[in-house]
Amino acid sequence: MSKYTGALMGCAIGDSLGIHVEGWKPQQIQRYVGTITGLMNHIQPIGPAGEPIKEDEYGKLKRWSSDAKRGDISDDTILTLAVAEAVLERGFDLEHMARKHLEAYEANRQPDGSYKGAFGGTTQLAFEALKNGISPYESGNLKGPGNAPAMKMGPIGLYAATDCGGAHLKFAEEVGRMTHLDTRSVASGMVQAGLVERLAGDEIHHRYFFHDAIMDLTAHCEEAPIAGMANPEIRLLDKMRWIVKNHDASVEETREALGNGGAVFESYPFAIFMFQKHWDNPKGGLLATVNAGGDCDTTGAIYGTLWGARDGLDALPKEWVDGINEKERILRVGWRFEHLDRMMNR
């Protein structure tokens, strides 16, 4: 039953491993950090005259979470926990889900009015709509093809794995549309919920079965593009086909073919590729995912969720688990899933 806690903790670990280098190129990580091997403190590259380095020949050194400390989490885990608590409290209730999202958002408001946690622009726009009284059925927008649905939707799969939620893909769709209208963003959350449900339920025992699952779920969940979407010609299903065909490609080849930036049609397929490629070495694969740069707190969180759902809490490195600053809260939420599972299956 530790798979419930494992999925939540895996999300936090992947998030925290990548939080300090989110948006960096792999060459920048190598130059200023070396190889990431565990949780670390914030890195501020310094030039020869003692000045902060904000850009180099590889691009800007982004600082989305410059105030984060070792073991801190960002929006990936903040919203994952909001989703988890919402379904545990009220099941598949979208109004309550919206309230829990806003509670999590407002809990990270800073004195200057900004928000800690590096929430994405599409998500923030939807939250402002919810705060202004817009229904969660109408609050989503097309600001961008964000990956928030993918990063936070694991708990809906966990809830389904307890035998409580048979309509989990439909509810994942509703939760995705609450913030994002891009069909690939919505589909990514549905696919992630479906994969987590199958992994936590011991339904996938080999990476080739995982290939079948990603193809089946994506074909079922991804709808046709709608007007206003950026790059509507790019489809998640095409990216999943590439993964299955090129399942042992190098990380460099995969970054070139799939991308690993913040757009959901890059980051989600990249995380999926890395998880299946490193099926038998999930710890090494998570580190490789983060060291590949890009939106690496989110690719790490997605990967970590899948790893924890498959293998459980005990498979995660103890020093990483103990280093997460929200460890006790995550353990409490995970225990509630485990208790629910026992109640449903006794």
* Side-chain half-sphere exposure of 4, counting CA atoms within 13 A: 24
User: How many C-beta neighbours within 10 Å does residue 214 have?
Assistant: 25
Helix (H) or strand (E) segment spanning residue 60: strand 59-60
* Alpha-carbon gap, residue 244 to 251, rounded angstroms: 15
**Whether the Cβ atoms of residue 157 and residue 195 lie closer than 8 Å to each other:** yes
Q: What are residue 46's phi and psi, to 5 degrees?
A: -120, 135
* Structure tokens that stand for 93 in this block: 């209730």
Q: Is the pTM of this model over 0.85?
A: yes
pLDDT at position 116 = 87
Cα first-last separation, the chain: 13
Q: How many CA atoms lie within 13 A of 189 on its CB side?
A: 31
Going by C-beta distance under 8 Å and a sequence separation of 6 or more, which residues neighbour residue 288?
Answer: 251, 274, 278
| Residue 209 CB neighbours (<10 A) | 11
Greatest C-alpha distance within the chain = 66
Closest CA relative to residue 63, chosen from 119, 18, 22: 22
Compute the distance between CA of residue 215 and CA of residue 131 in angstroms, rounded to an integer. Answer: 37
Q: Which residue has the tokens 């994952």?
A: 80
Rounded Cα distance, 29 and 7, in Å: 27
Task: Note the pLDDT tens digit of each residue in 132-178.
Answer: 999 999 999 999 999 999 999 999 999 999 987 679 999 999 999 99
Q: Which CATH class is domain 2-345?
A: mainly alpha
Residue boundaries of the structural domains of the chain: 2-345
Report residue 228 as tokens.
């206003």
Position 71 scores a pLDDT of 97
Q: Are 337 and 83 in contact (CB under 8 A)?
A: no
Rounded to a whole number of angstroms, the CA Rg of the chain reads 19
* Integer Cα distance of 319 and 223 in angstroms: 41
Collect all residues with Cβ–Cβ distance below 8 Å to 205 and sequence separation of at least 6: none
Write out residues in the chain with pLDDT < 70, as ranges: 1, 165, 346
Alpha carbon distance 129, 152 (integer Å): 20
Query: What token pair was written down for 110?
Result: 């800073």
Q: Residue 83 to residues 113, 318, 345: CA-CA distances in angstroms?
A: 24, 25, 23
The span from the CA of 101 to the CA of 300, in Å, is 21
Best CA proximity match to 17, nearest among 292, 314, 330, 306: 292
